[in-house]
Structure formats: structure tokens, C-alpha cells
Structure 1
Amino acid sequence: MNLKRSSALVGVVALGAMTLAACGSDNNTASTTSASGGASAAAASTASCDGKSNLSGAGSSAQKNAMDAFTAAYISACQAKGKTVNVAYNPSGSGDGRTQFIAKQIDFAGSDSAIKDQQATDAKARCAGNDAWNLPLVFGPVALAFNVDGVDKLVLNGETAAKIFNGTIKKWNDPAIAALNSGAKLPDTDITVFFRSDSSGTTDNFQQYLAAASNGAWAADATGSDFKGNVGQGAKGSAGVAQGVSSTPGSIAYVEKSFADQNKLKSAQIDNGSGPVELTTASATKSIESAKFKTEGSKDLALDLKATYASKEAGAYPLILATYEVVCSKGYDADTSAAVKSFLTSAANEGQSTLEESGYIPLPDAFKKTVVASIDAIS
């Protein structure tokens, strides 16, 4: 299934009302909905507000700001129906979220890569013998955020990015970088790489991109949720790596656009073979439109992004990720099942209304229908 985007999508609005909390954490405080916005969301809400009042989730820090928006919309909607609810979400990293979900410590996991292989098998036990489903509720482009004195515009391709992140390219004025940036005053300074020190779906997606787009500069098997570059400085969470780049001249990191925006970081353009492409909503959407599900017709909506990462489509920004909510298809107790369905239904509908303000890309209408159908099928 191709993900078709409506023409209503406009440029990303710069994130203003979200602030970072403690250094090195992902304790971002999301902007709360205005009184009029909250009332509108509540009036149009699809949330039943059934089931238990308190849900718990953990995992992807990439979706933390989106989760704040989802929770605010859900709380507002249920308050209008006379019910007090809350969703406690800990942005502990995708790997930790999946681990906690399998161990029944949380109701759902946020993950930037689909649960699979042995973890999917283990999740069946947690779900009383039933499959866990991957439901993509947030799309976000990943920025190659950089902080280089005197350089406002930077172009990289898959090969140069791979060689930077595996330590083969060590200086900003390396001939391979210079060849992509004619006329730029690249300094003769060392490159400082920041990477996620925690197990991260963002890392998984980024390394899959490098493996697909680097002409062999990144090993095909150097993927997964832990960084395999053997170079650089680790930092905890998306906020940690963004803060590292912000405070370190000569540095670069892979980080979700929302966190790059928060820290006012510059993002490299990517040339996958059809010319440099700036990171914008429109260019990321062009890539999302070509993404396909791994299994057509399944209620498990894991995506196959390898072809997207390797695409040479003009004007398409290839480095994107889909971040999932990992849930039990069946096997919850009745109160948990009802609450999970209510919250996710709200998130897939009115919860999407403010995501562009946070640097995300709301669900395309046709894709939203597919997600809601899977949510409705949870039992």
C-alpha cells in the first residue's frame, strides 16, 4: 500500500512552545492545547474514554513530543465527558520500551522500529499467546544536525554520511565533503560525532538508511538499535544528542527534526543521486508516499522502508522514520483493552492536529483509516 498524502499539508511550523527540561533527558514539556483548541478537540473527539483511567507506556524518545500532544488531547476529550484520565509515558528509548512491554510492566511500547524476531515471539507470551501489532502513529524525518562554524549550508550523501559516522572521514574539509559543497568554507577541524548511547529505534532507522544508501561504505549487517559506528560520543535520548551538537562546535548527529528544531540546529541536505534535498515537510512527505507495508492486508502495520532509503527520487528526503505503538492484538484484560483502544483512537484522530507544530508529519487521511481499522480490531 502506498501512503498518499493530502494536498493540504503545508510546511512545518517551527516549534516554539516546547522546552527542554533537564540536560540529557527527554523530559520535554509539550505545549498545552489552547482553551479554544482543547474545546474543539473535545467536541470532535473520537475517544470513548472507556476502560481504566491510567495507562502506561515507555520507549521511543522520538515520539515523546507527539505523545505529549496525544495525551493532552485525550485528557481534554475525556474531561469533557466527565472522566479523568492520564497516560504516563517514559521516553526511555525504543529498546527499553519493547523490553518493558514484553515484561508486562507497561500497557504499550513506543518504538521507532517494529517489534520483530525473538522479541515478537516473546511478546506473544505477554499477549496471552496472541501477536503484538505495530501501529505507526507518528512519522518524522531524521535530521543530520550539525554545528560547524562558518557553515550554514551543508550537503551530504549516503556515502559521506556513512564515512563520517564510522570514522573514515575525520575532518570537515575532507575532499569527499568538499566535492559536495563547492564554494563552502569548510574548516580544517575534527568532526565530533554524537550518537545515541541507549538502544534506539532512531539508530536502527539511521543505520538502515546508511546500509541502503552508502554504496557499501556502511556494512549491510551494521544495523540494529545499538550504534555500530565505533566512533564519537554517546548521549542519552534524542534530547541528549541534540544538546550535545548544540554545545559542541564541529559536531554532527542524527536526530529527529523536532529536536533539531528545538535546539535551533542546522540540518544537512541529502543528495541521494538526484541533487541535494532540503529537509522540509514536503520533501519528507514525498518519501512517505512511496513507503509500503511489509505485509499487505495485515492488521500489523510494520513498514518496509529499505526501498525508501535507497530511493533516488528527485525532491524526496529519504531519511525518515515511522514510530510505532506496540500493542497486544488480543490478551489484555477488558479494562486495559478498552483504554488502549480509546487512547489510540484519539491519538490517530484529533491527536494528529498539532503534530506539524512539533516537527512531525500527521497521518495521511487514507493511511489514518488503515490505522484506525487496526485499533478497532484490538480485543
Structure 2
Amino acid sequence: MIRPRLRALSRALGVALVFGLIAGGALPAAAASYQRISGEGSSWAALAVQQWQADVKSQGVTVDYVPSGSSQGRKNFAGRIDAKFAVSEIPYRGDTADKRDDSYPDFNFTMMPMVAGGTSFMYNLEVNGQQFRDLNLSQQAAAGIFSGTITQWNDPAIAADNPGVNLPAQPITVVVRSEGSGATAQFTLWMLRQFPAAYQQLCSVSGECDGTHATSYFPAQNKANFVAQSGSDGVTKYTVQTSGTINYDEFAYAQQAGFPVANLKNAAGFYTTPTDTAVAVGLTQAVINSDPNSENYLAQDLSNVYAYQDPRSYALSSYSYFMVPTQTTNQFDESHGATLGYFTQYSLCEGQQTMGTLGYSPLPMNLVLAAMTEIRKIPGLDAPTTAKLDAVANSALGADGGNPCNNPTFQPGDNPSHNVLVDKAPFPAGCDEACQAPWRLASAGVAASGPTFDAGAPAAAGGAGAGAAAADSTAAAASTKVCDSDTGVCVEGTANTVAGGKVTPVSTVIPGQQGWAGPQTLMVLVGGLLALFLVAPALVSRVLSKAPRKRI
């Protein structure tokens, strides 16, 4: 009776040990100790953040996020009010700054790009009794609609973009954001730069802006056909529920709702939508602030994106940003920093894989590397996160040319400045071989009829530009701008750097990537315990059989 019981006990202990180890080791060792943190800000980028939240939640890490709008997010981050990080399309200061947003952190912080996307024009319109899903809009017509000078769907300016379509004589209801938003700031900056007369007319009627500066608060006052709603969800829901409406927001929201967006006419005369590839093409003309001493380091200037003449380009493409502390405060300690470091590196790396299907566009690898340099400044980074950052830099910049991020913009062995999404971008209908040829050459780094490219430059980011502010004319005149055909950035001065500084290779490996690490060790331990589970009963039985038996 004793021997069978011992065998059963041995098996039970083995099973308990195996499953206990699996339960405890299925997650990164640090996951159990990552403290819960919260962030706040952009709703334009919220669907991306929510995807990353869900991803890390499955790994045992909890990150909360409130999509209250960029203005409120920056304010609460600066005031240390329930926001360990912020998300915004614009910085605190620069051409996109609004006088109503006067908060500024009293602690050290940095901003880094986190995802790209396109501001789209989602609409709800019926033609001949059926939902119309193929609306074309010129940029001028879009500016007319959102400045209030075009108020009917059958306006000649819209009809000119849609020949043969029986557009209804129906009022246009323009749905805008009610709160301060980075999306509004970028959108009004586009109007100001591309259609200043329309923007000035909008400001003069509303009285809410001066017509010479962008604003984060859409000036809808005194516009009878304008409706303001809170957040990206708010404008999306109102548009879905109301016929004759049109709004501006990130493409992901329209895609999620199953509603169409306007095909926007670009500078080449072709109508495009903000797919991941069209956004990637457009952002090859973005100018990124490359001065590491600037308060707006890595911020974007989109002036050249609006007028880019690549037929594949989407004109209203832009980046969104994390804002993170680089010092501890009474509201942010190293335990918060450990979680934030893990979350941001995940977002920049594996998190980019789903961005295209979600309705955004993944960051090019060189901007990922630049952002990872900023992550290193977060206090409290743990060893696994640091190892991941090292491995990414070593592989992407080193001899092996690997891709431990599995970043969809990067092909192993390629230069980090080469965005493969640009190569994959389809040309629009009507663009024949002669139309395509110059841009195919440009993508290959051959100067053709178009911008001057330097495909060999790793190009981190470059240019002057506070937020979306244009580069200072004096600085621009004294420097040489090199625009890379694939990276999404232009560079002022030396191009052979990443985010203004070289990344020093360090020989390390990280969990979850190539090489020996935690998962591999876990597999060996589990295998050993399984073996022990199988052989332990026999060993125990053998020992017992050799033991002297007590006579009764």
C-alpha cells in the first residue's frame, strides 16, 4: 500500500511543480513587478494606444489611458495629475501652440514619435438612395467645407471632383472636435499654410482665432452648419448617425466604423486615401527636428508633405508622439519608469506590426531607433528593457542587419533608413509607366524629376521645426537639407547619425528574441521537470525495494 501511494504522491508533486513553473514563467520575469501606470492625451492616436494596452495586458502589464485630447493630456502630464505619460500630435510650444494651452512641465521630459497616420475625411452621404462610398475631394474643396464657404453637397467645387455623380442638394453638416486636440492643431495648420484666405475667413466669422496661427480648438462659433463633438469617438458616432455629415480624424476610426473616407486629391493630381503605404510615402517629406538641445527635439514639420508630388502620397499624413518624464518626481518614481520603459519599447517594436491593419502606418525603423534613444532617458529602466533596446540597435545598425522588432517597415540586412512600405505603395489608377518611372527611381535613391534624395543616408531626423513649425530661415540657409526617399525624414547637416547621435553597439541578447534567454531557460527547466515526473516514481520505488524490511 505504501509504494503505490508514494508513486501517486511523486507524480502529483511533479505535475504541481511543472504547472507552477509554467504559470510563473510564461511572462517576463519583471512583468509581475511592473507597477500599474496611466497616461492621457490624443484620441487621434487612441486606437493605437488601446491596441498596445491590450497586448501588454496579456503579458501581465496594466497601462491605463484616457483619450481626453492632446491639450488636456499635455496639461495633466505637466501638472502631474494622473498621467505618467502623455500622447500628443504637437509639442507644448511652436507654431501649433494655442494660447489657451499655457501649461508646461516643471520637470525634465522628452517626446518621441510613436506611430504615423493620416487625417481623413469620413462622411455619411447618400446618392440615389444608397450610401455613397467613392467621394473625391480636392484639398481646396476640403478647405472650403471646413471653412464654411462650401455648404451644399452639390456645390460646383465638389461636383468638379465627382463628374457624373448625382450629388444631392443637401446641406453639409461639418462635425468638428469640441475640445483642444492635436488633430485640430495639425488640421488648422494645414489650412493656414495651404489655404490662408479660407482659414482667415473662418477665424473672422468665428472670432475664435486670429487667422495667422493654428489653433487646437476648432473655431466653429457662429457657423450654423457646424457641430462640435468630444473626442474622436464623438465625431465618429455623430457622423455615423447623421446623414449629410463630414468630419476630420484619424483613418482608423472610419475603418473601425465601416464608413468611407474621401479620396483626397494630392499635389500630383491623384486621389488617395490614408493607407499605411500612402502615409509612408507622404512622410518621406516630413522634416524632423534633429537638434537634441531643442525643447522640440524630434517634432515634425509637415510643410513639404502637403505639396509632395509623388502620385502615391497622402497629403494629410503626420506622426503622433509619446511625452515621457526623464527624471523622477514626487508623482513619478523608478517603478513607474520601469513600466513606462517596457510599454514604450513594446509600442515602438512589436506594437508596430498591427498598425497598418488598424488604420495607422508603422514608424520607419530609423525613427524607431531615434525614439529608443529617448526611452533610455526614462528613470528606472529594468534589465530586460535595456537589453531589448541594445539588441534592436545592435541588429539594425550592426553587421547582421537583423530585425528583432519585426518592424514591418524594415527588411533584415537593409539600411534602417529604408522604409519598405514606400516600395510596396501602389500607384493610383491613371498613373501609367511614364508617370510611375520617376518615383520608382526616387525610391531606389536615383535623383529623377522630383526631390533630391540620398538613399544611403541613415538619416535620423533632421531639420528645424518646433512642432509643426517651419524651419528657421536663417538656420535653413546655413545648412544643407538631405531628404531621404524612404525614411519619412529630411536631414539638416550630417546624415550618418540616429536622432542626432550614434548608437554604440553592445553585445547583448534579450528575452523573446534570437539567442538564449528566459524563454529558452524555461523550456529546459520544464523539460527537466517533466522528465523528473516520469522517472521519479520508479526511482522512489527502487529505493524502497532496496531498503531493509522490518519483520513483524
Regarding TM over 0.5, the answer is: yes
- Report SS of the residue matched to 2:192: helix
Residue pair 1:111, 1:325 contacting (<8 A) in 2 also: yes
For 1:337 and 1:288, the matched residues in 2 are separated by 31
Which of structures 1 and 2 has the larger relative contact order (alpha carbons within 8 angstroms, sep 6+)? 1
**Amino acid of the structure 1 residue aligned with 2:214:** T
CA shift, 1:366, in A, is 2.0
Deviation at 1:312, TM superposition (A): 3.6
Q: Which residues of 2 match residues 1-379 of structure 1 at below 5 A?
A: 49=31, 52-77=34-59, 79=60, 85-105=61-81, 106-116=83-93, 122-125=103-106, 127=107, 130=108, 132-150=109-127, 151-214=132-195, 216-219=197-200, 221=212, 223-230=214-221, 231=223, 232-279=226-273, 280-297=275-292, 300-331=297-328, 332-379=332-379
Q: Distance in 1 between matches of 2:278 and 2:67?
A: 27
Secondary structure class of the residue paired with 1:123: coil
Matches of 2:133 and 2:363 in 1, distance apart? 31
Alpha-carbon distance between aligned partners in 1 of 2:310 and 2:326, rounded to the nearest angstrom: 36
8 Å CA contact 1:202–1:225 kept in 2: the answer is yes
More displaced stretch, 164-173 vs 217-226: 217-226
Q: Distance in 1 between matches of 2:192 and 2:32?
A: 44
**Does the residue aligned with 1:362 lie in a helix, a strand or coil?**
coil
Identical pairs, percent: 31
Corresponding residue of 1:23: none
Give unmatched runs, 5+ long, in structure 2: 1-21, 201-210, 380-552
What is the CA deviation profile of residues 60-92 of structure 1, one whole-angstrom value per residue up to 9, with x for unaligned ones? 112222112212232334x4xxxxx31111111
* Alpha-carbon distance in 1 for matches of 2:26, 2:287: 34
The alpha carbon displacement at 1:215 in A equals 5.8
Q: Determine if contact 2:112/2:298 at 8 Å carries over to the other structure.
A: yes
- SS in structure 1 of the partner of residue 278 of structure 2: helix
Shift of 1:115: 2.4
Please give the secondary structure, in 2, of the residue aligned with 1:218. helix
Q: Which deviates more, 111-120 or 282-291? A: 111-120
How far is 1:203 from its partner? 1.0
User: Deviation at 1:162?
Assistant: 1.4
Partner Cα separation in structure 2 for residue 218 and residue 113 of structure 1: 19
- CA distance in 2 between counterparts of 1:305 and 1:187 reads 35
State the shift of 1:339 in Å: 2.4
Count the aligned residue pairs.
328
Which amino acid counterpart does residue 91 of structure 2 have in structure 1?
A
Aligned-pair CA distance for 1:141: 0.9
Residue 213 of structure 1 and its aligned partner are, at CA, apart by 2.5
Distance in 1 of aligned mates of 2:153 and 2:172: 6
**Helix, strand or coil at the partner of 1:217:** helix
Q: 1:17: which partner in 2?
A: none
TM-score by length of 1: 0.79
Amino acid of the residue matched to residue 287 of structure 2? Answer: K
| C-alpha distance in 2 between matches for 1:374 and 1:103 | 21
**Corresponding position of 1:26:** none
Give the letter for the 2:110 counterpart: W
Contact 1:202–1:321, Cα closer than 8 Å, also in 2: no
3-state DSSP of counterpart to 1:216: helix
RMSD: 2.6
Whole-angstrom CA distance in 2 between matches of 1:290 and 1:347 = 24
Q: State the Cα deviation string for residues 112-133 of structure 1 (Å, max 9, x = none).
A: 22222689985341x1xx2x32
SS of residue matched to 1:101? helix
Structure 2 letter corresponding to 1:73: D
Q: Which has the larger radius of gyration?
A: 2
Q: Distance in 2 between matches of 1:307 and 1:60?
A: 24
The 8 Å contact of residues 326 and 378 in structure 2, kept in 1 or not, is answered as yes
CA contact (8 A) 1:155 1:268 kept: yes
State the secondary structure of the residue aligned to 2:285. coil
Counterpart contact for 1:71–1:86, Cα < 8 Å = yes
Name structure 1 gaps, 5 residues minimum. 1-38, 80-84
* 2-structure distance, mates of 1:122, 1:215: 28
Structure 1 position 201, deviation (Å): 0.9
Does the Cα contact within 8 Å between 1:49 and 1:343 map onto a contact in 2?
no
- Distance in 1, matches of 2:57 and 2:168, equals 50
Q: Which contiguous aligned blocks of 4+ residues in structure 1 show a shift greater than 4 angstroms?
A: 42-45, 47-52, 117-122, 296-299
